Amino acid sequence: MKETDDNWTPTAEDATVESAVLQQVLDLHPVLVTLAELVREVGGGSPGFGERDAIERAVHNLTGAGLLHSHDAFLLPTRAALRFDELLSR
């Protein structure tokens, strides 16, 4: 069986984007952020379709995992995400 570099697999790339998205939302908390603002923050000034899609997938996956809440147009970290961030900061 051939070894693969996990840094180049779609799963690893998705995990990297999810990490960046969650970190950005945690860093901005308690400021509320919209998906469009998050795309600009994480994807850079003029993100292409691929970057926007990856960030939208990350938000969807993080919401499903219970780490982000979507409230109206705003995204915010869940209590679990905030507590985990607090523990990591020790």
CATH number at 43 reads 1.10.10.10
Confidence (pLDDT) at 7: 58
User: What's the domain range around 75?
Assistant: 10-88
pLDDT, tens digit, 9 for 90 and up, residues 32-80: 999 999 999 998 888 899 999 999 999 999 999 999 999 999 999 999 9
Residue 60, in any domain of the structure: yes
Residue 45, in any domain of the structure: yes
Residue 26, in any domain of the structure: yes
Residue 18, in any domain of the structure: yes
Residue 41, in any domain of the structure: yes
pLDDT above 80: residue 20: yes
Rounded to whole angstroms, the Cα distance separating 70 from 53 reads 17
What b/e string do you get for 18-51 counting C-beta neighbours within 10 Å, with b at 16 or more?
bebbbebbbebeeeebebebbbbbbbeeebeeee
Residue 2, in any domain of the structure: no
Distance of CA 28 to the CA centre of its chain: 12
What is the number of domains present in the chain?
1
